[in-house]
Amino acid sequence: MIARENILEITYLIATALFVLSLKWLSSPVTARRGVWAGEAGMLLAIVGTLLHGGIVDYKLIAIGLVLGTIIGVPLGRVAMTAVPQRTALSHAFGALCVTLVGTSEFYLRAPNVPGFMMGVLSLEVILGALTFTGSLMAAGKLQEVLPQRPITYKGQNFVNLGLLAIAISIAVMLVLHPEKMYLFPFMIGIPLVFGVMMIIPIGGADMPTVISLLNSYAGLSAAAMGFVLQSKLLIIAGALDGASGFILSVNMSKAMNRSFTNVLFGAFGQEQVTVAGAKEARPVRSASPEEAAGILTAASKVVIVPGYGMAVAQAQHKVRELYDALTKRGVDVKFGIHPVAGRMPGHMNVLLAEADIPYDKLLEMDEINGDFPQTDVALVIGANDVTNPAAREDTSSPIYGMPILDVDKAHTVMVIKRSMGAGFAGIANPLYYLDKTLMLFGDAKNFVGAIVREISGGHN
Amino acid sequence: MKLDLITSLYVFMLAAFIGFEVIRRVSPLLHTPLMSLTNALDAIAVVGAIILVGEGKSRLAMILGTIAIVAATSNIVGGFMITDRMLKMFKASGPRKP
């Protein structure tokens, strides 16, 4: 006879294996969907195992919770692809909420007899959980544009933020030493809740990919800490996997912006950099009409399209697919160059283009495509700015100097679709626009690409 | 089956190493689905909440635990759904050419 507890442990063991396989299969788009199925199977097994063998006496509230969660979850699984970043931020908030609430309950069930180590991980769990909860809600609000997107900074901001964190940690230390001081516990939750808000206030839209990744990592670590508290290997492992994933993505994102973590969190980069822009105001640019652009594109043999978040804002993905189809039909080799921070979260641009039915093998990362630009006839930049700015490579005084960019300026001709000559997110002038080989295509991305497509297919018969 | 501190730390360390090695190999193409999938997997925290509510040791635990189940379940359902929706869209160029 196998004991109940052992059956539960074995289901958890299988679930753990399925979780690791799930992530392993995600390594390639060919096996990725199998990864989702493995994850679902593992999850189902763990939940059913817990319901049957977890020593549960009352199922009523559990059933209510599962049903309500499903009702909320289904619409969150159906959001538009452009809204995926805010959905992801919201789900980090939900995950962190779950962890914080369970941690709080565990404290009041056990206090005042909490061993030092247990109190330590419990503190870590609720501090990380609470700051991730409000921080993610703030990030979701900024991404959904219900909160102002511009960074809000004030004097002594870093001092206030670090001070709050220091107070929360000191309370944790006090509770570890004196777990009977239960009145301190609410403060250990309340202060990180405030800190989470303060942490996101100075962060602008362009830094969102890094911040979302960082919050992802915190959410994972808080879940792992919960695993320590509940002595659950399954939870420790799931939390560690999530934490590792968020950490890798944050490192990738900061590298792609040539900034350190601390710089993203404490830098508040987004202010207007008028000094650089001023000197270059008067220089002339060349512009072109859709007819001219269509002529140049159809005469090319190799075209690289560089999409940025502006393309998604203009909802131009489907027009871009039509352009891709029209050019491919004429024998033009069309590829896409994707900067790691294009979009509002890691990999967001790929999802938007895949949704428009552009084959994923045409979507190339920055490192893969950069060698191709010298042999490229036309680089077509749609709604991207800073990630194509050659100042990042050449101008040591530029605030984005050192940031890896897509070398579109090495292509024979550069075309940039842009609403006006305004500066980009970081407010930095882009010398790319003043090059002799650059043609500015002024207008809304969707309409302009549509006009080019009409020209190409009109002249095709 | 009690875990002691050191065993827990071993489990965490090894899982973190496996996580790094496996996730490093995920193509940047799929970084958005990666985040939504790990988020759904992370919601396994629901089992902790289920046990908390099911054992019913205090009123506070039952109220907070139920909210926790709602939050985690919405992540599981929504996370897996959107991940699958995204992955369904990724198609190679071969078959769709006429």
A409 three-class SS: helix
pLDDT over 70 (residue A423): no
Asked if residue A340 has a cis previous peptide bond (ω within 30° of 0), the answer is no
A414 three-class SS: strand
Tell me the sheet residues that pair with A413.
A378
Cβ atoms < 10 Å from Cβ of B56: 15
Cβ atoms < 10 Å from Cβ of A165: 17
Q: What is the ipTM of this complex?
A: 0.92
Structure tokens at A441: 């295509």
Q: pLDDT tens digits, residue range A14-46?
A: 999 999 999 999 988 999 999 999 999 999 999
CB contact under 8 A, A95 and B57: no
Phi/psi at A55 (5° precision): 70, 40
Lowest mean pLDDT among A18-32, A257-271, B31-45: A257-271
Q: CA angle A460-A415-A418, nearest 5°?
A: 110
Looking up tokens 């002799």 gives A436
Structure tokens at A81: 């692809």
Structure tokens at A132: 């991730």
Lowest mean pLDDT among A37-41, A247-251, A422-426, B56-60: A422-426
d(CA A260, CA A251): 8
The confidence score (pLDDT) of residue A459 equals 58
Q: What is the mean pLDDT of residues A186-195?
A: 94
Domain boundaries, given as residue ranges, for chain B: 30-90
Q: What is the mean pLDDT of residues A135-139?
A: 94
Q: Provide the shortest C-alpha distance from residue B6 to chain A (in Å).
A: 10
Q: pLDDT tens digits, residue range A282-309?
A: 577 888 888 889 999 999 999 999 998 8
Q: B18 or A54: whose pLDDT is higher?
A: B18
**Are the C-beta atoms of A212 and B35 separated by less than 8 Å?**
yes
Q: What is the mean pLDDT of residues A200-223?
A: 87
Q: Percent of chain B beyond pLDDT 70?
A: 92
pLDDT over 60 (residue A53): yes
Closest CA to A65 of B43, B69, B42: B69
Burial of A70 (0-12, 13-18, 19+ CB in 10 A): middle
**Neighboring chain B residues of A342 at a CB cutoff of 8 Å:** none
The confidence score (pLDDT) of residue A335 equals 94
Structure tokens at A134: 């409000």
Residues 23-42 of chain A whose Cβ lies under 8 A from any Cβ of chain B: 23-24, 26-29, 32-33, 35-36, 39-40, 42
Which residues of A form the catalytic set? 386
- Whether the CB of A399 is below 8 Å from some CB of chain B: the reply is no
Structure tokens at A225: 């800490």
pLDDT over 90 (residue B13): yes
The confidence score (pLDDT) of residue A369 equals 92
The confidence score (pLDDT) of residue A271 equals 40
A31 residue type, one letter? T
CB contact under 8 A, B39 and A219: yes
- Work out the mean pLDDT of chain B and round it to a whole number: 89
Residue of B nearest to A9 (CA): B1
**Neighboring chain B residues of A29 at a CB cutoff of 8 Å:** 27, 29-30, 87, 90, 92
CATH class of A277-458: alpha beta
pLDDT over 50 (residue A279): no
**Are the C-beta atoms of A306 and A334 separated by less than 8 Å?**
no
Quickly state the pLDDT bin for A364 (edges 50, 70, 90). Answer: very high
**Are the C-beta atoms of A161 and A171 separated by less than 8 Å?**
no
**Are the C-beta atoms of A380 and A302 separated by less than 8 Å?**
no
Question: Which among B32, B35, B45 has CB closest to A223?
Answer: B45
Quickly state the pLDDT bin for A272 (edges 50, 70, 90). Answer: very low
Q: pLDDT tens digits, residue range A66-87?
A: 999 999 999 999 999 889 999 9
CB contact under 8 A, B41 and A252: no
pLDDT over 60 (residue A232): yes
Quickly state the pLDDT bin for A457 (edges 50, 70, 90). Answer: confident
d(CA A126, CA A434): 52
- Whether the CB of A334 is below 8 Å from some CB of chain B: the reply is no
Q: Provide the shortest C-alpha distance from residue B40 to chain A (in Å).
A: 8
Q: pLDDT tens digits, residue range A86-122?
A: 999 999 999 999 999 999 999 999 877 888 888 999 9
The confidence score (pLDDT) of residue A280 equals 46
Q: Is the dihedral of CA A138, A139, A142, A148 positive or negative?
A: positive
- Work out the mean pLDDT of chain A and round it to a whole number: 87
Interface test with B, best of A94, A121, A334, A344 (most B CBs within 10 A): A94
Looking up tokens 């009123």 gives B59
Distance between terminal CA atoms of chain A?
A: 78
The confidence score (pLDDT) of residue A381 equals 93
The confidence score (pLDDT) of residue B96 equals 47
pLDDT over 50 (residue A146): yes
Burial of B43 (0-12, 13-18, 19+ CB in 10 A): buried
CB contact under 8 A, B73 and A73: yes
CB contact under 8 A, B39 and A92: yes
Q: CA angle A368-A337-A144, nearest 5°?
A: 125
CB contact under 8 A, B70 and A72: yes
**Neighboring chain A residues of B98 at a CB cutoff of 8 Å:** none
d(CA A365, CA B28): 8
The confidence score (pLDDT) of residue A344 equals 83
Q: Percent of chain A beyond pLDDT 70?
A: 92
Residues 80-139 of chain A whose Cβ lies under 8 A from any Cβ of chain B: 81, 84, 87-88, 91-92, 94-95, 97-99, 101-102, 104-106, 108-109, 117
Q: How many residues does the structure list for chain B?
A: 98
Residue of A nearest to B79 (CA): A77
Q: Percent of chain A beyond pLDDT 90?
A: 53
The confidence score (pLDDT) of residue A426 equals 56
Residues 252-281 of chain A whose Cβ lies under 8 A from any Cβ of chain B: 252
Is beta strand A333-338 parallel, antiparallel or unpaired with respect to A302-307?
A: parallel
Domain boundaries, given as residue ranges, for chain A: 58-267, 277-458
pLDDT over 90 (residue B43): yes
The confidence score (pLDDT) of residue B98 equals 41
